[in-house]
Amino acid sequence: MPAVEDVRVLDRGGLDRLVEVLLREGYRVVGPMVRDDAIVLGELTSSAALPAGWGVETAPGRYRLRRRDDAAVFGHSAGPQSWKRFLHPPHRALWSTGPGGEFVPAEEPGARQAFLGVRACDLAAIAVLGKVLAASGAFARRRAGLFTVAANCTEPGEVCFCASLGTGPGASAGYDLALTERIDDRGHRFLVDVGSPEGARILALVTTREAADDEVALARDDVAAAAGKMGRALPPGDLRALLRDSRDSPVWSEIASRCLTCGNCTMVCPTCFCTSTEEVTDVTGEHTGRAERWASCFELDFSYVHGGSVRTSGEGRYRQWMSHKLGTWHDQFGTSGCVGCGRCIAWCPAGIDITAEAAKLAGEGAGDAGR
Ligand code: SF4
Ligand code: SF4
């Protein structure tokens, strides 16, 4: 955390001007907005679309918008989308053929991106993706020049559990600016921590004031208190060992009796990264191209090798997803594949809760986490 004397205060109108400044400086600004009864992420042409006064209610298999009794802009927890879609898009053209059959590489977007309102768990997810996709030039190009405005969490959602993974609720690194929103008798404002020289340069283009010591302390207390408001946690201990030693657990077949293998959990997860490539030809037969799209380990074809799929059962596919996410991800990338955002819990149509399933495995006594 930057020193108290470096914290600035941005009033509510200042947030609008911050968006204007980022646009003027050539950034493509992406932030939260209400669409289709959810808070989604989209391109902002002004601050007018920000979800002021909207909150959400979440539970396993449930997500509902609700009206807040204040005008908080960041008073909502994670929605169905994550920032992944702007760094590692769901569908990406790789190349096509031109009229003469010549090879035409796909154009990459040129604009630098500014993400507004990134939670600490999602900052951690971007860092995880950076390790996973370290060799991807496309990811690196999109991430280069990224400007990140974090939003520290003071009201976690019902399915959040970032505190048990150490990825939230406060942003500790990886941001240019970090906002903590407060609405009290001193007004609606944002305490701003500066995390980079570019953050300082942009903030200098917006009117701010020095923060009083006590309002910094209150904002810090709000964020620290959010950790204690989370009703979920992954079991403590060595989850890698837990998953390794749980291979033959009866818990997997019980989960499979509920799991629809729909793949929603992988689509909403901010760190799931798998893709498939496909060739497409139009009906004239004159144009063809290759594209990359997100794939899911819940697809039957995902594990297809030489004549058949390796994981034909739902049991095998759920076990693969969770064992990779919480276990072997450490072996591959030196980090957990889960940042505790809770999206897979809210958006699972069967209400399957990764924290509850991990607790069941731990309760069986498998691995260090069960001891
Ligand atoms: S755990 Fe839930 S979201 Fe994931 S594949 Fe199964 S039913 Fe779908
Ligand atoms: S596994 Fe679930 S809680 Fe963990 S990062 Fe992915 S979507 Fe979020």
Q: Quote the ligand 2 centre to 272 CA distance (angstroms).
A: 9
Q: Choose the residue to mutate in 296, 324, 354 for probing ligand 2, maximizing ligand atoms within 8 Å of C-beta.
A: 354
d(CA 34, CA 109): 25
The CA-CA-CA angle for residues 52, 48, 86, to 5°, reads 90
Find where tokens 């990338």 sit.
Answer: 333
Atom of ligand 2 nearest to the CA of 345: 2
Collect all residues with Cβ–Cβ distance below 8 Å to 2 and sequence separation of at least 6.
Answer: 193, 194, 195
Q: Quote the ligand 2 centre to 322 CA distance (angstroms).
A: 10
Q: Mean pLDDT across the stretch 217-238?
A: 96
Atom of ligand 1 nearest to the CA of 258: 7
pLDDT exceeds 50 at position 368: no
Closest listed ligand to the CA of 260: 1
Which residues lie with the beta carbon below 6 Å from any ligand 1 atom?
259-265, 298, 348-350, 352
d(CA 211, CA 92): 44
Find where tokens 């609606």 sit.
Answer: 188
Using a CB cutoff of 8 Å and minimum separation of 24, what contacts does 197-204 make?
A: 198/147, 199/147, 199/175, 202/18, 202/21, 202/22, 202/25, 202/147, 202/176, 202/177, 203/8, 203/10, 203/18, 203/177
pLDDT exceeds 70 at position 364: no
pLDDT, tens digit (0-9, with 9 covering 90-100), for 305-329:
988 998 999 999 999 999 999 999 9
Find where tokens 């996709």 sit.
Answer: 133
Looking at this protein, which amino acid is placed at residue 121? C
Atom of ligand 2 nearest to the CA of 269: 7
pLDDT exceeds 70 at position 142: yes
Encoding tokens for residue 302? 């995902």
Q: What is the pTM of this model?
A: 0.94
SS3 call for 164 = helix
Find where tokens 């993974």 sit.
Answer: 165
Atom of ligand 1 nearest to the CA of 264: 3
Pick the residue whose CA is nearest to atom 6 on ligand 2.
Answer: 269
pLDDT mean across residues, the chain: 94
79: left (phi over 0), alpha (psi -120 to 50) or beta: beta
Give which of 148, 170, 175, 176 is closest to 216, Cα–Cα: 170
pLDDT exceeds 80 at position 146: yes
Encoding tokens for residue 165? 């993974």
Closest listed ligand to the CA of 257: 1
pLDDT, tens digit (0-9, with 9 covering 90-100), for 38-64:
999 999 999 999 999 999 999 999 999
Q: Quote the ligand 1 centre to 358 CA distance (angstroms).
A: 15
pLDDT, tens digit (0-9, with 9 covering 90-100), for 270-319:
999 999 999 988 888 778 999 999 999 999 999 989 889 989 999 999 99
- Annotate 122-140 with b (16+ C-beta within 10 A) or e (fewer): bbbbbbbbbebbeebebbe
Which residues lie with the beta carbon below 6 Å from any ligand 2 atom?
268-271, 325, 338-344, 354
338 and 211 Cβ atoms separated by less than 8 Å: no
Encoding tokens for residue 84? 């992944």
CA distances from 355 to 58, 345, 358, 367 (A): 15, 9, 5, 16
d(CA 235, CA 177): 32
Task: Report the pLDDT value the prediction gives residue 283, as an integer from 0 to 100.
Answer: 85
DSSP for 64-89 reads EEEE-SS--SS-S---S--THHHHS-
Closest listed ligand to the CA of 256: 1
